[in-house]
Chain A
Amino acid sequence: MRKFLVCITCLLFLISQVVDAAPRRRKKAVKRMAPLEQVGFQMPSTITDTVKAVPAKGLYMNALDLLQGQSAGVNVSSDGINGNAVLNSVRVRGSSSILGANDPMVIIDGVISDITALSALYPSDIESFTILKNTSETAAYGSDGSAGVIQVKTRMNSGEGFRIAYEGHLAVSAPYGGLQMLSADEYRAVAADRGLYINDGGSSTNYYSALTRPSFVQNHYVALGGGSGPFGYRASVGYAQDNSVLKDKGNDNIVTKLDVNQTLLNDRINLDLGVVGSLSRNYGLNDPKKIFYSAACQNPTYDAEANFRNPNAVLIGAPLAMIAAKNDSRNMNIATHASFSYDILDCLALNAFGSYYFTSYETAFTDGGSASRSESKKDDLLCNVSLQYDKTWGDHNFSSHIRTEYHVERNSGFRTGVRSLANPLFGYDNLGAASSIPLGGTGSNYLEKKLLSFGIELDYLLMGRYKFALNARTDGSSLLGDAHKWGFFPSASFVWNVKKEDFLVDNQTVSSLNFKVGYGRSGNIGAINSYVNGNYAQPVGMVPVYGYPVLALGTTYNPNPDIGWERVSSVNIGAELGMWNSRFLLTIEYYYSRTDNMLYVYDVPVPPFTYDKMLANLGKMSNMGVDLGVAIAPVKTSDIDLVISANVSWQRNRLESLSGTWMGMELDADRISPIASVSGAGQVGGDNNVVYQIVGEPVGVFYLPHCEGLVQNEDGTWRYNIVDLDGDSSVDLGDYGDRQVAGQAIPKFTLGSSISFRWKSLYLIMQINGAFGHKVFNGTALAYSNMTSFPSYNVLRTAPGKNIADQRVSDYWLEKGDYANIEHLTLGYEFLLPKSAVQSLRISFCVKNLAQMTSYSGLTPVINSYVVNSTLGIDDKMCWPLFRTYSLGFSIRF
Chain B
Amino acid sequence: MKKLIILSALLPCFVSCLYVKVGDSLPHDEIYSTPADVYRNAVAALYNNLGSNQESIGLQGTCRGIYDYNTLTTDEVIVPIRGGDWYDGGYWENLYFHTWESSDRCLYTVWTYLFSNISRCNASLDVLARSSENCGVETTNAWIAEVRALRAIFFWYAMDLFGNIPIVDEHNKWQELQSPRSQTFRFIFNELQYSLEYLPIARSNEEGLHYGKVTAPVVWFVLAKLALNAEIYSDDDCTDGIGQDGSAIMFEVEGSKLNAWETCIFYCDRLADIYGLESMISSNFSTGNEKSLENIFTIPADRESYKVEYHYQFRSIHYSHGAAYGFEAENGPSATRKAMQVFGYGTPSPDPRLWATFSFDEVKVGGEPVLTEDGSPLVYYPMEVAPNLTDSPFKTTAGARFNKYETDIHAYENGKLQDNDIVLFRFADALLMKAEALVRNGQDGTPSMARVRERAGASPRECNLETLLEERMLELALEGWRRQDLIRFGKYHLEYDMRPQLPSETDAHTILFPIPRKCIELNGKLKQNKGYE
Complex contacts, B87 vs chain A, CB 8 Å: 682-683, 686, 788, 807
A242 to B131, CA, bound (A): 62
Within the complex, which residue of A450, A547, A671, A683 is in contact with B208, where a contact is CB–CB below 8 Å? A547
Interface string of B93-114 (1 = CB under 8 A from A): 0000000010111100001100
The CA-CA distance from A310 to B373 in the complex, in Å, is: 8
Inter-chain contact B7/A544, CB cutoff 8 Å: no
- Contact at B116–A314, with CB atoms within 8 Å? no
Determine whether the beta carbon of B25 is less than 8 Å from that of A439. no
The answer on a CB contact under 8 Å between A681 and B84 is yes
Q: Mark A514-552, 1 if CB is under 8 A from B, else 0.
A: 000000000000000011001111101111111101101
With A447-B23, A612-B112, A788-B390 in contact, is A686–B44 under 8 Å at CB?
no
Task: Verify if A554 is at the interface (C-beta below 8 Å from B).
Answer: yes
Contact for B319 among A314, A444, A544, A670, CB less than 8 A: A314
A613 to chain B, nearest CB (A): 9
Shortest C-beta distance, B79 to chain A (Å), equals: 12
Name the B residues within 8 Å of A404 (CB-CB).
7, 11, 14
Q: Give how many A residues have a beta carbon under 8 Å from the other chain's beta carbons.
A: 95
B198 within 8 A of A: no
Point out the residues of chain A lying under 8 angstroms from B3, CB to CB: 344, 350, 387
> At the interface, yes or no: A406 with Cβ under 8 Å from chain B?
yes
What is the CB-to-nearest-CB distance from A311 to chain B, in angstroms, rounded to a whole number? 3
A734 to B86, CA, bound (A): 17
B120 contacts A545, C-beta separation under 8 Å: no
Q: Complex formed: what's the CA distance from A312 to B323 in Å?
A: 11
Contacting chain B: which of A252-260, A562-570, A603-611, A747-755? A603-611
Instruction: Known A438-B304, A440-B307, A452-B17; judge A536-B25 contact (CB<8 A).
Output: yes
Q: Which residue of A lies closest to B50 (CB)?
A: A543
Residues from chain A with Cβ under 8 Å of B329 in the complex: 314
Q: Let me know if A445 and B24 touch, CB within 8 A.
A: yes
Q: A-facing mask of B16-33, CB < 8 A → 1, else 0? A: 011111111111101100
Q: Which residues of chain B from 174 to 224 have a CB within 8 Å of any chain A CB?
A: 174-175, 207-209, 211-213
Interface centre among A197, A408, A605, A668 (most CB of B within 10 A): A605
Known: A406-B17, A543-B44, A612-B116. A537 touches B31 (CB 8 A): yes
Q: Give the number of residues in B that approach A within 8 Å (Cβ atoms).
A: 93
> Using an 8 Å CB-CB cutoff, how does the interface string of A348-359 with B read, 1 for contact, 0 for none?
001000000000
Q: What is the CB-to-nearest-CB distance from A325 to chain B, in angstroms, rounded to a whole number? A: 15
B23 / chain A contacts, CB cutoff of 8 Å: 412, 445-448
Residues of B within 8 A of A684 (CB): 88
- Taking CB atoms, residues of chain B closer than 8 Å to A408 are 17
Q: Are A531 and B20 in contact (CB under 8 A)?
A: yes
Instruction: Tell me the smallest distance from the CB of B467 to a CB of chain A, in Å.
Output: 38
Decide if A687 is an interface residue (CB 8 Å cutoff).
Answer: yes
Contact A550 B44 (CB under 8 A): yes
Please pick, from B4, B41, B523, the residue contacting A554 in the complex, using a CB distance under 8 A. B41
- B contact residues around A310 at 8 Å (CB): 373
Nearest CB of A to B55, in Å: 8
A454→B18 CA distance, assembly (Å): 14
Q: Are A553 and B175 in contact (CB under 8 A)?
A: no
A544-587 CB contact bits vs B (8 Å, 1 = yes)?
A: 11110110111100000000000000000000000000000000
Residue pair B11, A553 in contact (C-beta under 8 Å): no
Q: How far is the CA of A807 from the CA of B328 in the complex (A)?
A: 24
Q: Does B402 contact A (CB under 8 A)?
A: no
Say how far A188's CB is from chain B's closest CB, in angstroms. Answer: 14
**B106 partner residues in chain A, CB cutoff 8 A:** 685
CA distance in complex: A611, B89 (Å): 27
Q: Give the docked Cα–Cα distance between A545 and B352 (Å).
A: 38
Verify if B518 is at the interface (C-beta below 8 Å from A). Answer: yes
Residues of chain B within 8 A (CB-CB) of A685 are 64, 88-89, 91, 105-106
> Whole-angstrom distance between the alpha carbons of A626 and B47 in the complex?
56
Closest Cβ of chain A to B170, distance in Å, is 9
A485 touches B26 (CB 8 A): no
Expressed in whole angstroms, the Cα–Cα distance for A385 and B112 within the complex equals: 51
CA distance A808 to B87 in the complex (A): 10
- B323 and A536: CB pair below 8 A? no
Q: Mark B39-53, 1 if CB is under 8 A from A, else 0.
A: 111001101110000
Q: Which residue of A lies closest to B209 (CB)?
A: A546
Q: Which residues of chain B are near A450, meaning CB under 8 Å?
A: 17-18
What's the nearest-Cβ distance from chain B to residue A875, in Å? Answer: 19
Which A198-233 residues have a C-beta within 8 angstroms of B? 199
Q: Which residues of B contact A535 (CB under 8 A)?
A: 27-28
Taking the nearest CB of chain A, how far is it from the CB of B476, in angstroms?
25
B468-525 residues at the A interface, CB under 8 angstroms: 517-519, 521-524
Q: Is B325 an interface residue (CB 8 A)?
A: no
Contact B28 A715, beta carbon cutoff 8 Å: no
Residues of chain B within 8 A (CB-CB) of A545 are: 39-40, 44
Residues of chain A contacted by B120 (CB below 8 angstroms): 554, 610
- B305 contacts partner chain A, Cβ-Cβ < 8 Å: yes
Q: B396: shortest Cβ distance to chain A, in Å?
A: 6
CA distance A808 to B85 in the complex (A): 13
B115 lies within 8 A of A688 (CB): no
Q: What are the residues of chain B within 8 A of A314 when measuring CB–CB?
A: 85, 319, 328-331
Contacting residue for B517 out of A311, A402, A736, CB 8 A? A736
Q: Once the chains are docked, how many angstroms separate the CA of A559 from the CA of B402? A: 42
Q: Say yes or no: is B288 at the interface (Cβ < 8 Å to chain A).
A: no
Judged by a CB distance under 8 angstroms, whether A62 is at the interface is no
Is B118 a contact of A541 with CB atoms below 8 Å? no
Evaluate whether A733 and B522 lie within 8 angstroms (CB atoms) in the complex, with A314-B331, A665-B174 already known: no
Give the interface centre of B84, B86, B374, B523 by most chain A CB atoms within 10 Å.
Answer: B84
Q: Is A409 an interface residue (CB 8 A)?
A: no
Q: B83 CB to closest chain A CB, in angstroms?
A: 5
Write the nearest CB–CB distance from A130 to chain B, whole angstroms.
Answer: 29
Least Cβ distance of B118 to chain A in Å? 7
Chain A stretch 792-840: residues in CB contact (< 8 A) with chain B: 792-793, 805, 807-809
- Whether B111 pairs with A606 at a CB distance below 8 angstroms is yes
What does the 1/0 interface line of A591-618 toward B look like (CB < 8 Å)? 0000000000001111111111000000
Q: How far is the CA of A452 from the CA of B17 in the complex (A)?
A: 8
Query: A554: which B residues are within 8 A, CB to CB?
Result: 31, 41, 45, 120
Q: Judge whether B303 is part of the interface by a CB distance below 8 angstroms.
A: yes
Residues of B within 8 A of A446 (CB): 22-24
Knowing A537-B28, A547-B208, say if A448 contacts B320 (CB, 8 Å): no
Binary contact track A651-668/B, C-beta < 8 Å → 1, others 0? 000000000000001011
| A104 interface residue per 8 A CB criterion | no
Closest to B111 in A: A606
Instruction: Determine whether the beta carbon of B48 is less than 8 Å from that of A543.
Output: yes
Which residues of the partner chain A approach B157 to less than 8 Å between Cβ atoms?
Answer: none
Q: Nearest Cβ in chain B — how far from A363, in angstroms?
A: 19
Residues of A near B18 (CB, < 8 A) are 450, 452, 476-478, 485
Minimum CB–CB distance for A473 against chain B, Å: 14
Which residues of A sit under 8 angstroms from B31, Cβ to Cβ? 537, 553-554
Residues of B within 8 A of A (CB): 3-4, 7, 11, 14-15, 17-28, 30-31, 39-41, 44-45, 47-49, 64, 83-91, 101, 103-106, 111-112, 115-116, 118-120, 123, 166, 168, 172-175, 207-209, 211-213, 300, 302-307, 318-320, 322-323, 328-331, 372-374, 390-391, 396, 412, 517-519, 521-524
28 A-B contacts (beta carbon < 8 Å):
A311-B319, A312-B396, A314-B331, A350-B3, A406-B14, A446-B22, A447-B23, A452-B18, A476-B15, A476-B18, A478-B18, A534-B28, A537-B28, A544-B300, A549-B302, A549-B306, A552-B41, A553-B41, A554-B41, A555-B28, A605-B522, A606-B112, A610-B120, A670-B518, A682-B88, A685-B91, A686-B89, A686-B91
10 smallest beta-carbon distances between A and B, as pairs: A686-B89, A789-B84, A446-B23, A311-B319, A552-B45, A541-B48, A549-B305, A536-B25, A535-B28, A610-B119
A sample of 9 more A-B contacts (CB under 8 A), given A314-B330, A344-B3, A669-B522, is: A312-B319, A538-B25, A549-B305, A603-B522, A607-B118, A683-B88, A688-B89, A736-B103, A789-B84
